[in-house]
Amino acid sequence: MKFRKETSEIYVPDGIDAAAALARTTHLAVSAHQDDIEIMAMDGVLQCFGKSDKWFTGVVVTSGAGSPRDGIYADYTDDQMRAIRRKEQKKAAYVGEYSAAAFLDHSSSEMKDSSYPGAVDDLATLIKIAGPETVYVHNPADKHPTHVCTALRLIRAIRSLSKEERPANLYGCEVWRDLDWMIDDDKVAFHLDKHENISAAVLGVFDSQIIGGKRYDLASMGRRRAHATYHQSHSVDACGLLNFGMDLTPLIQNDDLDILGYVREHIERFADEVYGNIVKFV
């Protein structure tokens, strides 16, 4: 395996060969930053936790060097921040029993450059080697620009592969914008009740972000509990913890399908539902 950055790395918690760790992967998440995986793709982690026939791999495309910092990390340089964030992601991979954690180490500015081929090539290589059934990524309606770019680069990478090499499912997940705005028929609902302690543990290892003033651990668990309660108004809760996803699978099945138009259709269906309820009862 050869990736664009010399500083890239594949970490394997149980110590087997990196290529073998990728090859056994059934569920794979591609995130912009360290800790995004644990916020958005816990369905994949929990689907595989403790299983011998299912394995989860997390991929982080950027270095994390530009992260906000406070507390004991306030005076850390970008290089030090990059190192601590990678260390934290490795801790999460160990606790969550990931098959592997891949660090591609591209910069956010490179990810935002649509002509930059590095991340697309690296992601295509990883997908080809791992051959996952299911892939999780940021949803294209996320409000963080690097998250949106990560989703777009991944879709381009998958579209560069043959139909046989592509995953069966691609889901866009929540981080910087919830997906509760989508109409219910469009939502992919991930039930996350199992191993709640593991979910909390993998979120809690990202000390540089939590101490830095962002309680992602509490916020993520709270959002899941809120989704579970507010998902259905006329029935009891089907589960205690819930995340939503946008099904992006059609975008990797049909290369002619326009990404912008696909997302716009979701927004328009939401608008139609809102307007329809108002018109009905005004």
Q: Where along the chain do its domains lie?
A: 9-255
Q: How far apart are CA 30 and CA 55, in angstroms?
A: 15
**pLDDT tens for each residue of 189-210:** 999 999 999 999 999 999 988 8
**pLDDT tens for each residue of 33-79:** 999 999 999 999 999 999 999 999 999 999 877 777 777 888 888 88
Could you say which DSSP state residue 82 is in? H
78, 138, 190 from 39: Cα distances, Å? 23, 10, 12
Q: How far apart are CA 200 and CA 195, in angstroms?
A: 9
68: which 2 tokens?
């906000």
**pLDDT tens for each residue of 231-261:** 988 888 889 999 999 999 999 999 999 999 9
- Residue 212: pLDDT band (50, 70, 90) is confident
9-255: in CATH 3.40.50.10320: yes
Contact 137, 43 (CB under 8 A): no
- Beta-sheet pairing, 56-62 with 27-31: parallel
**Which helix (H) or strand (E) covers residue 103, if one does?**
strand 100-106
Produce one character per residue of 247-267: b if its CB has 16 or more CB atoms within 10 Å, e if not.
bbbebbeeeeeeeeebbeebe
**pLDDT tens for each residue of 64-76:** 777 777 778 888 8
Contact 141, 104 (CB under 8 A): no
| pLDDT of residue 1 exceeding 80 | no
pTM for the whole thing? 0.96
Q: How far apart are CA 157 and CA 160, in angstroms?
A: 5
275: which 2 tokens?
């307007």
